[in-house]
A and B are shown apart, each in its own frame.
Chain A
């Protein structure tokens, strides 16, 4: 387990999710959502112990190259082809507090936009030295970093000529099951972002911009890799000061 022993565990319920900020279930421009979105209202449930607790993973699960997608699938002495980048940032909660010990998992296509998956049939070739998955755990200040190649855009069967912008998928665990989140990171300056039906499922432009990683020139390593910074915000939780209820209230 991650050593969080010197921290008082947080047990407040989470701030309610702003569902006007997140994409709604039904977004017809993204065709698959039409038959996969609930039609009935969600039942609101303020956090019980089932929602405010969640699994926390220790560094013991991590292998040496789990956060290095350039090498974690490559043959010895070889590496993945593409634009070498570092992606780093912090996981914070809505109160701006760091989330330490958060497991992040990421996956992506290769430099040509091809995923290593049996259901993928795009004609761009696989890179024999690139698998496309990685993971890491945030440190005590909520920082994370990994190394990869910049993924390429790829076409997908939605509209006749839809292409995804370059993106990296992120799966994030906080400290409670209600914080569980999957999202996608996009790259600063990519004109494809504003053409994408999946990006457009998000109603608020500011919410989209929060998913666009900035080129981080200061952390670029000369003659090696450029850097992008991507912060992730998980739900905040109420102070336990506000959780003291009278019995039976």
Chain B
């Protein structure tokens, strides 16, 4: 016998279910008066540094039907590439930028929308610079464990070409599933849960 490691097992995930909005965005769910605002609806204020951008898209199932009951959270660096987190040791992030947002997909159209800023570049584990990106976490009825992916920007071709994470995608035809389409200051990012156009998801 050997010593025990004494570690615990992570609590197993369960689906967020169809009524996730009651808990995470109660005002959106029509439950008023409990919280003043739904958490994560505002990421920027008038003082936030950086270029304002809008991100929209849908989450599509294996038949191409948009999910009208999904919820997405995003996490990103500020314009200088710093995260607003106690675990960020490289410097102090912009105090006027939360870096975190939450948005349910629309109950009819399935669209989500974030008003945020274009993130700066942050280093990979070996010090190489990653291309600007936003981390996404998707939960919904039918998703047993939240899905992690990344959004990269269609107008960052040079940075994307040297990104160490994108470089690890063996099947190069799948790289475009992580690149948001550009229209001025608006970016469009559809997430395909399965099928031919399936988005690359990460085990982070």
Contacts and interface: CB of A to CB of B under 8 A. Distances in A.
Interface string A36-65: 111110111111111111111100010101
Interface in A222-243: 232-236
Interface in A22-45: 22-25, 27, 30, 32-40, 42-45
A176 B135 CA distance: 12
B3 interface: no
A50 B13 contact: no
A62 B142 CA distance: 30
Nearest to B128: A248
A182 B202 contact: no
A215 interface: no
Contacts of B150: 50
B203 A44 contact: yes
B2 interface: no
A124 interface: no
B45 interface: no
A43 B198 contact: no
Nearest to B119: A50
* Majority-rule SS of B interface residues: loop
A184 B17 CA distance: 10
B69 A53 contact: no
A116 interface: yes
Contacts of B147: 38
A93 B11 CA distance: 10
B9 to A, nearest CB: 6
B86 A9 contact: yes
A93 to B, nearest CB: 8
Interface string B1-18: 000001111111111111
A38 B89 contact: no
Given A36-B61, A201-B144, A210-B9, 4 more contacts: A43-B169, A54-B85, A198-B14, A201-B14
27 contacts: A9-B87, A9-B89, A10-B87, A23-B144, A35-B63, A35-B65, A36-B61, A36-B62, A38-B147, A38-B193, A39-B194, A45-B168, A50-B77, A55-B75, A55-B85, A72-B34, A94-B7, A117-B30, A119-B107, A131-B31, A180-B137, A180-B146, A182-B139, A201-B14, A201-B15, A202-B12, A247-B126
Interface of B: 6-24, 26, 29-31, 33-36, 39, 61-63, 65, 67, 69, 73, 75, 77, 83-90, 98-100, 107, 122-127, 130, 133, 135, 137, 139-148, 150, 165, 168-169, 174, 193-195, 198-204
Q: Report, nearest first, the 7 A-B pairs whose CB atoms are least far apart.
A: A107-B23, A32-B142, A36-B142, A53-B85, A23-B144, A55-B100, A35-B62
